[in-house]
Structure 1
Amino acid sequence: MSGRVLVVDDERSLAKVVASYLERDGYQVRCVFDGPAALDAAREDEPDVVVLDLMLPGLDGVEVCRRLRSFSDCYVIMLTARTEEADKLTGLGVGADDYLTKPFSPRELVARVAAMLRRPRERRARPEAPPRRFGPLEVDVAAREVRLDGAPVPLTRTEFDLLAVLSARANVALSRAQLISAVWGDGWVGDEHLVDVHIGHLRRKLDDDPARPRFIRTVRGVGYRMGPQS
């Protein structure tokens, strides 16, 4: 396995342990220890994955992630020493793809990085394939663009991939496990309810009220589907 990973944590000993496990698996790793250095390193190295601690000097992880999303679509795994769900959801709300709560196994982190990098960086559709339309929503998989009422909707890579999978099988209810397999890969380990968090962000960006959904519908006991009300 190869790929560039940026590890950002002010606990230098932990950062070095994580880096050693990643390097052992063939990744190119750079460690930095504060928020401003993380942004500089991300611009210089264009990493495939950023492992980002929530509590950092200079700029915290949430602000680093928010700024990172203005120039990079790399995968972001947020690390937090706090156990409150709000911390995890805050990180995901600014564009993180996954999270781990400290203490964690370095092997689990390596497994999640590997699963992310097995995901295709670009889901290619046939050049002649038309955009998928759901009323005012247009999903152009070939161009990786989404428009709502003609206006572009900025999505993270994970959000777009979820929408692409759902829109490809309109009116078919997909379970969380099926969505995890399609988007995160079969090797992913973690809480399947991570899907719910990303679906929530998608709905907000698409102005899709879950109580009266236009696009993404919850199928109780199963998961989610796209399409009109049955």
Structure 2
Amino acid sequence: MKERILIVEDEERLADLHRDYLRQAGYETDWLASGETAVEWVKENRPNLVLLDLMLPGKDGLEICKEVRRFSDVPIIMVTARVEEIDRLIGLELGADDYICKPFSPREVVARVKTVLRRSSQPSREDTQTLLSLDEESYQATLVGEKLDLTALEFKLLSILANKPGRIYSRDQLMDLLYSDQRIVCDRTIDSHIKKLRKKISAAAKGVELIHSIYGVGYKYEPI
């Protein structure tokens, strides 16, 4: 079955260009010209990926991304001509998987779609990661055969990141996931936990870097 791409783009000419190239690459495509119906469409049709323009009539791309993330992990690629850094950061914090900035070539769009779909369709963590093993029941992490002496909080943090390789999490997102009791903590607390995690990972496997900093945004996990 062909993978299905939803294109949310108010410029018909550009949408047609996306559709032509994506179809040639073997994808099935759907198009919405307004943001008003995008969230319900995703909920009802469950596409494999959403190519989402930032500036849309009715409802903008950031709001759509935010609403979709409340019920779905469908990969979202934001398309924008607004290259200000704040838009990039807000988009990532809301859960966008990638960005494409106008002007761009249709081939770049296809390449980005392939990359994001390949990343999102990877098998489960247990199947893909030979270096790291996580036992959710015992809160035990093993790296290249060496047990990591992690606190429960450090284990949970590592598990959150490792469950979504390549996904960028902001500090606020990680705090919300770690502290379900809504306690008030400083966002630098996350930095402290990450620093300790990296130190323990380095002690078990010298030279191995699994947790990466994204300047001004947050952190992501990349398996080796």
TM-score tier (shorter): 0.5 to 0.7
Larger Rg: 2
* Structure 1, unpaired ranges of 5+: 140-146, 149-158, 166-182, 185-194
Counterpart-to-counterpart distance in 2, 1:96 and 1:113: 13
Counterpart-to-counterpart distance in 2, 1:201 and 1:224: 20
Find the counterpart in structure 1 of residue 115 from structure 2. 115
1:24-51 Cα distance to aligned partner (Å, 9 max, x none) = 1111100101112211321222001001
Find the counterpart in structure 2 of residue 137 from structure 1. 153
- For residues 150-165 of structure 1, the aligned pairs below 5 Å read 160=160, 162-164=161-163
Residues 67 and 5 from structure 1, CA distance in 2 versus in 1: closer, same or farther, beyond 3 angstroms?
same
Q: CA deviation at 1:211?
A: 4.6
TM-score by length of 2: 0.66
Find the counterpart in structure 1 of residue 189 from structure 2. 209
Find the counterpart in structure 1 of residue 69 from structure 2. 69
2:193 is paired with a residue of what secondary structure?
Answer: coil
- Residue 71 of structure 2 aligns to which amino acid in structure 1? F
Counterpart-to-counterpart distance in 1, 2:188 and 2:3: 36
Contact persistence 2:9–2:56 (CA under 8 A): yes
Q: How much identity, in percent, do the aligned residues show? A: 40
Find the counterpart in structure 2 of residue 125 from structure 1. 126
1:113-157 Cα distance to aligned partner (Å, 9 max, x none) = 11122233541537xx72145423376xxxxxxx57xxxxxxxxx
1:69-90 Cα distance to aligned partner (Å, 9 max, x none) = 1222110001111111111111
- For residues 33-48 of structure 1, the aligned pairs below 5 Å read 33-48=33-48
- Residue 209 of structure 1 aligns to which amino acid in structure 2? T
Which has the larger helix fraction? 2
Find the counterpart in structure 2 of residue 102 from structure 1. 102
Find the counterpart in structure 2 of residue 187 from structure 1. none
- Residue 123 of structure 1 aligns to which amino acid in structure 2? S
Range that drifts further, 38-47 or 5-14: 38-47
Counterpart-to-counterpart distance in 1, 2:209 and 2:125: 25
Counterpart-to-counterpart distance in 2, 1:2 and 1:33: 22
Counterpart-to-counterpart distance in 1, 2:72 and 2:95: 11
* Structure 2, unpaired ranges of 5+: 128-133, 141-149, 179-186, 203-207, 213-224
2:126 is paired with a residue of what secondary structure?
Answer: coil
